[in-house]
Structures are given as C-alpha cells and as structure tokens.
Amino acid sequence: MRVILERSTLLKSLNHVHRVVERRNTIPILSNVLLSADGASLQMKATDLDLEVTEAAGATIEQAGATTVPAHLLYDIVRKLPDGAEVMLKTDEDGNAMSVVAGRSSFRLQCLPQSDFPELSAGNFSHIFRLDSADLKADREDPVRHLHRGDTLLSERYLPAHDRGRWRAEAALGGDRRPPSRTRRDGSAGGL
C-alpha cells in the first residue's frame, strides 16, 4: 500500500475514527485502525466490538492495499505534523510495518494483518432514522442539558417531566444536583 494525502484531510478523518478505540485494550487488534486504499480514497475503520466507525478521505493511491496500525499512535503523529504537510503512508513488502513520511519526518509503525480485524455485520435494521446536524449542534450547546452523578452522565431529557423544573432550580441554586429517583410514601423526594 502506498498512499499520499494532505495532513488536514487525514487528521479530520482520524479524529473521528480513533475516538472509538480504547487506550488500554486487552485485544491488540482492537487498538488498531484498519486502513484500506482503493480507487481514489483511503477508508479508515475502527471498532470496539460494540461500535464501529468508518470514514473515507480523498487521497492519491499509488498502490492499493490494506493494513492495520495503532490508532492513537497514528493520530498523535499526524496531529503533530505541520499544517499543509503532504503525508505518505506506505507499507513494507512483507506488510509488517508502515512508514508515515511527511517532509523530513519519518515514522515506522508496526502493523497487524488486515485479516485479523473483526468484521461486524449489522444485518438488516428494522428502523432507520436521520437527524439534521443543526439539530445535534443546537442540542450540544444547551448549557443545562447534562448532569453528573458519579461516573454516570444523566441527560435532562430522560428525567420525568415533573422533576425537570425542580432539578433546574436546584442546579441553579447550587443545591443537590441529582434528580429524585422516586417519591417516598410520605411525599418527600427520595435520593438516588
């Protein structure tokens, strides 16, 4: 495999894909991103066996091929390259290593075979839905949307309607920021 593409294009795609990969993983192939060069694009895929993210980036393909490399390491390398750099990704003849070359910088990453990468088959979905990106962005900017309880992130939209106003008032006053999980028989609110 031999691919040439612009740093910002590669970085944008890697930024989406590498987030699904856990930093500490007991299965080595799940720490990697699958790179497949074919046609005029470089396809990237990462999974944690529950979630799979696929992204494509426009590239000049000099030699088609596929391999897997450590996702976070590749992302960190590309992130630290200078803006506007042209990045070349090329695998060795035996496919055990991939070189990342940009200007005077050169890195060599160990590869795992493409055949080891898990293929998740989703099957047929019973429901399909679409969301406008503007709706997601507007929801993300809501300052009172989320509430923390230990390691759990609760969303206000999942609270019962009668608890939303109480929670907002208490959050604004700096009081107990947790929504009540149930109401006791005596009418007082129960805690989580």
The per-residue pLDDT for range 19-72, each reduced to its tens digit, is: 999 988 888 999 999 999 998 999 999 999 888 899 999 999 999 999 999 999
Measured CA to CA, the distance from residue 65 to residue 112 in angstroms comes to 13
Q: Edge-to-edge strand order for the sheet containing 32-38?
A: 52-58, 41-47, 32-38, 65-70
Tell me whether residue 124 is in a domain.
Answer: no
Q: Is 178 helix (H, G, I), strand (E, B) or coil?
A: coil
In terms of pLDDT, which residue wins out, 5 or 129? 5
Tell me whether residue 129 is in a domain.
Answer: no
Last residue of a domain, one of 116, 143, 165: 116
Tell me whether residue 123 is in a domain.
Answer: no
Strand 2-6 to strand 86-91: parallel, antiparallel, or no bridges (unpaired)?
antiparallel
Quote the pLDDT of residue 186.
Answer: 55
Q: Whole domain around residue 57: which residue ranges? A: 2-116
Measured CA to CA, the distance from residue 27 to residue 48 in angstroms comes to 10
Question: Is the pLDDT score of 170 beyond 50?
Answer: no
Question: Is the pLDDT score of 134 beyond 80?
Answer: no
Q: How far is residue 161 from each of residues 95, 165, 167, 168, 179, measured CA to CA in Å?
A: 57, 8, 10, 12, 11
Tell me whether residue 94 is in a domain.
Answer: yes
The domain total for the chain is 2
| 153 in the same domain as 109 | no
| 101 in the same domain as 65 | yes
Quote the pLDDT of residue 128.
Answer: 75
CB 49 within 8 A of CB 83: no
Q: What is the mean pLDDT of the chain?
A: 78
Strand 105-110 to strand 65-70: parallel, antiparallel, or no bridges (unpaired)?
unpaired
| 58 in the same domain as 7 | yes
Quote the pLDDT of residue 150.
Answer: 45
Tell me whether residue 83 is in a domain.
Answer: yes
Tell me whether residue 184 is in a domain.
Answer: no
| 138 in the same domain as 90 | no
Q: Is 10 helix (H, G, I), strand (E, B) or coil?
A: helix
* 136 — pLDDT class (breaks 50, 70, 90): low
Amino acid at 43: Q
Tell me whether residue 6 is in a domain.
Answer: yes
Measured CA to CA, the distance from residue 118 to residue 68 in angstroms comes to 11
| 111 in the same domain as 141 | no
Tokens 């390398």 -> residue = 77
